[in-house]
Amino acid sequence: MQPVMTVDEVTAFLDREFPQIHDGGRVYAVERIAPGEAVVRLSASERHLRPGGTVSGPSMMALADLAAYVVILAHIGPVALAVTTNLAINFLRKPEPGDLIGTCRLLKLGKRLAVTECGIAGEGEIDLVAHATATYSVPPR
């Protein structure tokens, strides 16, 4: 399945429709869009850390949810009303402070539902720190 939006188009859409994701500074970046896949970076700062110096679970969940939204938008076009109906995440190991990369793949893109999976790893790392699946409700196109 070929994407219908580029990195720049998805980024501009997010900036326009969801400027609140940049409150406190720009920490999310869409890095790559490919057939059936999107890669999103979280530049984790102090506000994303929990006691003990690790990136918090809610921060990783936000990255997984945003990466799912990005891969879906990239393949259906700018549909602001696509919404998360389910997000399940497994935390696999303690992420060190620093950038996290969410690589999200489309598992199913139907008329009403889209299902994704997202692997999250530290920058340059092979081992995942978290794995998530997400289901989105897609409005009629």
Q: What gap in Å lies between CA 110 and CA 61, rounded to an integer?
A: 23
CATH architecture of 7-137: Roll (3.10)
Q: Give Cα 35 to chain centroid, integer Å.
A: 16
Per-residue pLDDT band for 85 (boundaries 50, 70, 90) equals: very high
Q: Give Cα 128 to chain centroid, integer Å.
A: 15
Domain positions in the chain are: 7-137
Residues of the chain above pLDDT 70, percent: 100
> Per-residue pLDDT averaged across 114-125, rounded?
96
Name which of 19-28, 67-76, 129-138 the model is least confident about.
19-28
